[in-house]
Structure 1
């Protein structure tokens, strides 16, 4: 039985414009070169890095605030995507109404979801799926909901909407009480709308001057990250999931954006999830590929990268190679209910002059290129492969094996 995981599914302004057709939108081109790979899997899981807040909310009208047409979900369904994680820093970009409408859109298109909840009466912290007689528990959590941009701060009265990893809003370290911080003081005086306006002005000014607005961010541990009620709930979820499932999969949204090496918070959380008993951890948020660790037949992927983000978007950091992502395949033995093989494919986002995106498996793309283009592609693939495995690339393939064992449980790769 095969489960496939992909990275962040998004809809930036460039793709939105390129996808617009008379009477609606068409995103089928995005998935056209990977659809046949999805079909070969029993279950395909991605991270839905946007919301479907409806056309009345406009689409992508604000800098760093997401909203996609419903047609994106329809294209996902047609391509063969089975489930998405919805706990991420953009899940409240169109407020609680937008979050709930997104869930309804996913339900309408028969795509499973985990990470957010419709209301207090329909809270699902553990999503159970039985696939080919194997019981899989899916869990999803996020470190943030962009409360500084949206102005929505979840608390104990409404935090059931999103599966969280830590308290939202400002958490002050009592050891620093009385110390004056000019940045916190000034930003604390601004409304969410004023903060967004200021961010947009700074970004556009830098871009006009030829200064990249975004740069790789290292994720550091902040006060309260390692010991809070939310992280304790996560551990309880995993303990409960292990009672009910053969395989436990956690999908945390965390890490430093465009940082190719995981920071201290990512390392802490990965270790926490491993010790709690997860079999597979699929991380997302950095928008670039990060390392994969194998430990006692268990797999920990820190970041798969962005599946389809627009490479021409203002905030992209080119040197981190955000045009590449990985697609992880987990093969589970139906009889033993254990992981038998784990491999990954490398994908590349190709964006045309109109902003339309096609996501290519690199082995397919290689066959379409000129000699010089092939050399550049091989160089890039080698970098991504080494980032994942710490080993040099030997040859381009459709799948690169991370772990494999025979029917008797003996490791063969």
Structure 2
């Protein structure tokens, strides 16, 4: 993601949004692939306006380079990120859903920044305490710390009861939890998340990182539609 996005919308019967969150390294060919999917889906989407309204905040990327990790470490060795959001808490907490891209792993020590990110668990705690409701985890750094890092990231977020989507321990977990469906004011929204790649680091079986693949995305969108939802948001 390159910018924050506030979205307040009147909910149609079925509305599909694509939120692009590519890093600078994303190739133009990926944009073309994504565009073809967008056109195909929007052409077949029926929009029927209602008076209901919910608001979203999309933010990213949450990253921790080495200097930031060191700066968060206090005199007794703990990591304090509470003050990071002092000037934004009111904005984050004033929407129905705040969604962000977690562009690091929570792989445990040793912590490190670029090129393979591993951040303290306290970072996720601070993000949640700031008011964020959902984290996307499918991005080019999902496999930075291998299978152990991917699985531990999921476990930490689960332990915090922090909703997330995009990476999975195995196919069973993906089937049971994807698409992620959130609901407020009687409006059900299906969230989908994909990435263009993982910086050349292979995903180890049975782990899953959602990749941009037209056939798979169309299948996932159909699953979402079959779940009697009002809105679909795809984050890439």
Give the TM-score of the pair, scaled to structure 2: 0.72
**Residue 171 (structure 2) aligns with:** 120
Give the TM-score of the pair, scaled to structure 1: 0.42
The match for 2:150 among 94, 99, 107 is 99
How far, CA to CA, are the matches of 1:110 and 1:4 in structure 2? 20
Q: Is the 8 A contact 2:57 2:95 kept in 1?
A: yes
How far, CA to CA, are the matches of 1:134 and 1:162 in structure 2? 28
**Residue 131 (structure 1) aligns with:** 184
Q: Are residues 1:161 and 2:145 paired?
A: no
**Residue 98 (structure 2) aligns with:** 44
Quote the offset at 1:118 in angstroms.
2.1
Q: 1:51 to 1:4 in 2, by over 3 A?
A: same
**Residue 73 (structure 2) aligns with:** 20
The match for 1:90 among 138, 141, 146 is 141
Partner SS for 2:178: coil
Q: Are residues 1:32 and 2:89 paired?
A: no
- Of the two structures, which has the highest relative contact order with CA contacts closer than 8 Å and spacing of 6 or more? 2
- Name structure 1 gaps, 5 residues minimum: 166-229, 253-413
How far, CA to CA, are the matches of 1:109 and 1:144 in structure 2? 27
Quote the offset at 1:242 in angstroms.
2.5
Quote the offset at 1:40 in angstroms.
1.0
Spell out the pairing of 1:93-242 with structure 2 (5 A cutoff). Answer: 93-123=144-174, 124-147=177-200, 152-154=201-203, 158=206, 161-165=208-212, 230-242=213-225
How far, CA to CA, are the matches of 1:154 and 1:5 in structure 2? 26
Quote the offset at 1:235 in angstroms.
1.2
Quote the offset at 1:89 in angstroms.
0.7
How far, CA to CA, are the matches of 1:154 and 1:94 in structure 2? 11
- Name structure 2 gaps, 5 residues minimum: 1-53
Corresponding residue pairs, total: 179
The match for 1:69 among 81, 98, 120 is 120
**Residue 25 (structure 2) aligns with:** none
For residues 276-304 of structure 1, give each alpha carbon's deviation from its aligned partner in whole angstroms, at most 9, with x where no partner exists: xxxxxxxxxxxxxxxxxxxxxxxxxxxxx
Alignment RMSD, CA only? 1.6
Quote the offset at 1:133 in angstroms.
0.9
How far, CA to CA, are the matches of 1:4 and 1:242 in structure 2? 23
Partner SS for 1:143: coil
Quote the offset at 1:7 in angstroms.
1.6
Q: Are residues 1:8 and 2:61 paired?
A: yes
How far, CA to CA, are the matches of 2:202 and 2:60 in structure 1? 26
**Residue 9 (structure 2) aligns with:** none
How far, CA to CA, are the matches of 2:178 and 2:162 in structure 1? 17
Spell out the pairing of 1:332-411 with structure 2 (5 A cutoff). Answer: none
Q: Is the 8 A contact 1:125 1:163 kept in 2?
A: no
Quote the offset at 1:107 in angstroms.
1.2
Q: Is the 8 A contact 1:140 1:251 kept in 2?
A: yes
Q: Is the 8 A contact 2:143 2:203 kept in 1?
A: no
How far, CA to CA, are the matches of 2:234 and 2:93 in structure 1? 23
Quote the offset at 1:29 in angstroms.
1.9
Spell out the pairing of 1:188-337 with structure 2 (5 A cutoff). Answer: 230-244=213-227, 245-252=229-236
